Amino acid sequence: MAWAESLESAIREGRHFPHAAAKRTSFDALAKDYVETVLAEFAAKERLTRERQLAWWSVQFAGLSLADVTPDRISKARDKLAVETFRRGRSQKHPETGELTPPKEFKRSGATVNRYIAALSHALSFAVKERRLLQRNPVSDIRRKPEPRGRTRVLSDDDRARLIKACAESAWPALHTLVLWQGARGSPHAEAERLGAQ
């Protein structure tokens, strides 16, 4: 008897058939819940960025339930995001002719597309873990876009001399030694000498 009551309660709450809860809940409703509960705790700048990203996803999934937000729909939206162009800044007025020049168009980088995917994933993880609306996050099947490697900067001789001088004058006596030791370990000459000694 207790088992039957427990099962009936689970069915009513959508726990026994989680897909039914996902069918009843729109993506927009989840996004609103996520913004009001999770993003409310974020710093203002990060919150605005995430809200803008989720608003973009809401347009792509307009009218869809959570059950309809499938990996194939997400990957198609991701590809659309990657080729979309956007404008940054304001139109510029020519000082002589008064003609307005629209701001330049840009395409989103792989890193930016990946940040949008991360925002969506975080919202859907909230649906899985806290709201029990999905059994699995569909973003886990989505491939991320390649990102360019970070820029490697090599100090000029003048920069290096100024750095070593500043370290020698530092209030922390070990800093000078540490920087010299690290520089010797990372220099191509030191590596060549080490390999030559083998």
pLDDT tens string, the chain, 198 residues long: the values are 665 565 455 545 544 455 788 999 999 999 999 999 999 999 999 999 999 999 999 999 999 999 999 999 999 999 999 999 878 778 888 888 888 888 788 888 999 999 999 999 999 999 999 999 999 999 999 999 888 776 666 777 888 888 888 888 888 878 878 887 776 665 544 444 444 444
pTM of the model: 0.64
- Residues 83 and 112 reside in one and the same domain: yes
The pLDDT assigned to 21 comes to 87
- Is residue 105 in a domain? yes
The pLDDT assigned to 161 comes to 82
- Residues 136 and 166 reside in one and the same domain: no
- Is residue 64 in a domain? yes
The pLDDT assigned to 12 comes to 53
- Residues 163 and 133 reside in one and the same domain: no
- Is residue 90 in a domain? yes
- Residues 82 and 161 reside in one and the same domain: no
- Residues 125 and 96 reside in one and the same domain: yes
DSSP string, 59-84: HHTTT-BGGG--HHHHHHHHHHHHH-
CATH number of the domain encompassing residue 43: 1.10.150.130
The structural domain count of the chain equals 2
Range of the domain at 185: 157-196
- Is residue 150 in a domain? no
- Residues 182 and 120 reside in one and the same domain: no
- Residue 41 dihedral angles phi and psi, to the nearest 5°: -90, -5
- Residues 135 and 174 reside in one and the same domain: no
The pLDDT assigned to 40 comes to 92
- Residue 101 dihedral angles phi and psi, to the nearest 5°: -105, 120
The pLDDT assigned to 164 comes to 83
The pLDDT assigned to 6 comes to 56
Tell the residue number behind the tokens 């080729």, with chain if given: 83
The pLDDT assigned to 177 comes to 83
- Residue 106 dihedral angles phi and psi, to the nearest 5°: -130, 155
The pLDDT assigned to 154 comes to 74
Do β-strands 85-87 and 105-107 pair in parallel, antiparallel, or remain unpaired?
Answer: antiparallel
The pLDDT assigned to 89 comes to 76
Neighbours of 138 (CB within 10 A): 21
- Is residue 149 in a domain? no
- Is residue 47 in a domain? yes
